[in-house]
Amino acid sequence: MRKDTEIKFVGQPIFGQLLKLIDKGTFAELVREKKSDYYYKAFGSWDQLVTLLFGILSRCDSMAETCEGLRAMSGKLNHLMIKKAPAKSTAGDGLRNRDSSFFEALYYKLVDRYKSFLSDSRTYGLTFKELLIIDSTTIRLFSDILKGVGRNPKNDGKKKGGLKVHMLIDAVQSIAKFVRITEAKVHDKNFLKEIQPPPYSMLVFDKAYNYYLQFAKWTENKIYFVTRQKTNALCRIIETVMEKELQNWSVGVNKEEIIEVSYKENKEEKQLKLRRIYYCDEKNRQYVFITNNFEITAEEVAFIYKKRWQIELLFKKMKQNFQLHYFYGENENAIRTQVWCTLIAQLLLTVIQKMANVKKAFSTVATLVRIHLISLLDVYELLKNVKRTYEIHKNANLQPNLFPS
C-alpha cells in the first residue's frame, strides 16, 4: 500500500493556525489587566501583535514592508481576527507608545501555558529539582538609543548603541523561562540578583557571572551552581582531593581541590568554601570549574557545564531565524517590544515543531512557515511531509479562480 504523503489544503492560512496557539481569553484578560487598549480605538493590542508577528515571521525589514504585506492579505485577514491592515503611521505610533511590558507579560503567559508540554527528559538522572542555564547575548544597534559596550572605535568614532538580552532557561525545555532586556553596558552579574531559583536547583553559567557574594547567598539557601573560574581569581587551597596525570590525550578529570574564596558583605570580609575541578577535553583543552555542591562527582560537574551549550543554541536560533538586524522603531520601547515579539514567535514555532513531532531542524521549520505563511495548508502535514505533492481539501475555503474557463 502506498504511503499517503500528500499535504492537504485547509480553510485558514498557516499564520492563522499559529495564532490559535494564543488563548484569546487569556489575551483579553491581560489587555484588561495592563490597560493596553486604554488609549487606542483603531489599533488594539491584538492588531499590533498580529502586525509584528507577521513582520517577524516573514522577515520584513521595516514597518512599511510589514503593513504593505498585510494589506495584500486583505482577503485572509478575517482568519487573523483583525478587520484591516494598519496604516504605517498607526502601526508606528502603537510601536512607540504601547508599553512593551504588555508583550513581556504575554510571553510569560505563553511560557506558563506550554512549559509542561515542551518538557522532556534530558538531564540523564541528575537529582536536581531544576537544572537552569544562564547567559546573555548582545544585539548591536545603529543608533545611540541604548548605550553600547566595548571600546570606542578608532578615528574618533562613536560606539554604536546596543541592548543585551539576559536569559535563564530550563535545561529540559528549549524556551527562555526568565528574560531581562538591558543596555549593553550592564554587567552580566547584575542579572543574578533578579532571579529567584528554588532550593536544590542547579544553575550553570560561564565565568562572566563570577559573583562570590551571590554565590554565598545561594549556598545558604541550598541553591547550587557550576561555572568556570576566572584565570586571575584569588583563592586559598585547603585540600587537594585528587590529582592524576592523563595519558595520550585522554579525556576526564585530572585534579580536584577544596578552595576558599573571599568576598565582602556589609564591608565585612567573609570566606566561602568551594570545589575546584580540573577537566581536560578531547582537544586537550584544560577547563577549571568551581561549584558549591559537594555531593555530585567531579565527572558530573563537567557534564553539567556541557549542558550550558543549550542556551547558545537558543541564541543562535533567535539571531539566525528572525529579523534582529533591522528594527521597526527607533525608541527604546519599540525595540523592546520587537524583541519580546521575536521571543513569542520563537516560542510558537517551538510549540508547532514539538506538536508535529518531526526531526526537522528549527531553521527548516522557520523557513517552511515563512515561505507558506499565508498558504492554506495544514502546518503539521507541511512539516511532516517528505514528498511535495498537494491535494485540495474538499471543504477548503479557497479564493475564487481569477481566470474561469
6 pLDDT tier (thresholds 50, 70, 90): low
Per-residue pLDDT tens over the stretch 62-121:
999 999 999 988 778 888 889 889 999 999 999 999 999 999 999 999 999 998 888 765
Please, what is the Cα angle at 32 between 109 and 51, to 5 degrees? 65
The three grid cell numbers given for residue 88, joined into one nine-digit string: 504605517
Please provide the average confidence, as pLDDT, over all residues in the chain. Answer: 85
Per-residue pLDDT tens over the stretch 157-210:
555 567 889 999 988 777 788 999 888 888 888 899 899 898 999 999 999 899
Q: What is the pLDDT of residue 139?
A: 84
**Strand extents, DSSP E, 184-284:** 202-204, 224-228, 236-243, 252-265, 268-280
Q: Which residues contact 300 (CB under 8 A, 6 or more apart)?
A: 126
Locate all alpha helices (DSSP H) within 141-229, ordered by sequence.
212-220
Average pLDDT over residues 142-146: 57
Q: Which residues contact 286 (CB under 8 A, 6 or more apart)?
A: 278, 279, 280
2 pLDDT tier (thresholds 50, 70, 90): very low
- Sign of torsion over alpha carbons 112, 116, 119, 121: positive
Tell which residue, 34, 338, 38, has the closest CA to residue 181. Answer: 338
- Sign of torsion over alpha carbons 190, 194, 196, 202: negative
In angstroms, the CA 241 to CA 239 distance is 6
Average pLDDT over residues 341-360: 93
Q: End-to-end alpha-carbon separation of the chain, Å?
A: 36
Q: Is 54 exposed, middle or buried (0-12, 13-18, 19+ CB in 10 A)?
A: buried
Tell which residue, 218, 224, 216, has the closest CA to residue 263. Answer: 216
Per-residue pLDDT tens over the stretch 227-237:
999 988 999 99
Question: Of the spans 42-46, 123-127, 129-133, which averages the highest pLDDT?
Answer: 42-46
Amino acid identity for residue 283 in this structure: K
9 pLDDT tier (thresholds 50, 70, 90): low
Average pLDDT over residues 138-158: 59
Q: Which of 24-28, 366-370, 398-402 has the lowest mean pLDDT?
A: 398-402
Supply the angle between the helices 24-34 and 101-118 in degrees, to the nearest 10.
150
Average pLDDT over residues 121-141: 73
Judge whether 291 and 301 are in contact, CB under 8 Å: yes
Per-residue pLDDT tens over the stretch 227-284:
999 988 999 999 999 998 877 778 889 999 999 999 999 889 999 999 999 999 888 8
Q: What is the pLDDT of residue 145?
A: 56
pLDDT reading at 358 higher than 80: yes
Q: What is the pLDDT of residue 34?
A: 94
Q: How many CB atoms lie within 10 A of CB 355?
A: 14
Q: Which residue would you say has higher pLDDT here, 391 or 385?
A: 385
The three grid cell numbers given for residue 63, joined into one nine-digit string: 514597518
In angstroms, the CA 13 to CA 382 distance is 12
Judge whether 179 and 107 are in contact, CB under 8 Å: yes
Per-residue pLDDT tens over the stretch 202-221:
999 999 899 999 999 999 99
Q: Could you state, in order of their start, the residue ranges of all structural domains in the chain?
A: 7-102+332-391, 210-307
Q: What is the pLDDT of residue 74?
A: 75
**Residue % of the chain over a pLDDT of 70:** 85
Q: What is the pLDDT of residue 155?
A: 54
Judge whether 201 and 131 are in contact, CB under 8 Å: yes
Q: How many CB atoms lie within 10 A of CB 2?
A: 4
Q: What is the pLDDT of residue 272?
A: 96
Matching residue, cell 549542558: 307
Average pLDDT over residues 14-22: 94
Q: What is the pLDDT of residue 385?
A: 77
Average pLDDT over residues 348-368: 92
